[in-house]
Amino acid sequence: MKVKLNQDLCEANGVCVQEAPEVFKLDDDDVLHVLQTAPAEDLRAKVEAAVRLCPRNALTLEE
């Protein structure tokens, strides 16, 4: 699975960081970073929740 971030939509609400801190990080300037663009399979549930709950639909998942 591959995580894609649309930086234009992201508004740094940090929901993904709560759902999957292994994969997402907000820096001090509130810019979101995807730490692992191809996370391991055991993180799937967390990453799917992050994608589903992103308030701005800024994340997508590709297989």
Question: Which residues of the shown chain bind other proteins in the complex (CB under 8 A)?
Answer: 11-13, 15, 18-19, 29-30, 52-53, 55-57
Is the CB of 38 or the CB of 45 nearer to other proteins? 45
Give CA separation, 45 vs 1, 11, 29, 59, in Å.
12, 23, 28, 14
Smallest distance, Å, CB 44 to other proteins?
A: 18
Q: What 3-state DSSP class applies to 20?
A: coil
Is the CB of 28 or the CB of 42 nearer to other proteins? 28
Smallest distance, Å, CB 41 to other proteins?
A: 22
b (16+ CB within 10 A) / e for 48-57: eebbeebeee
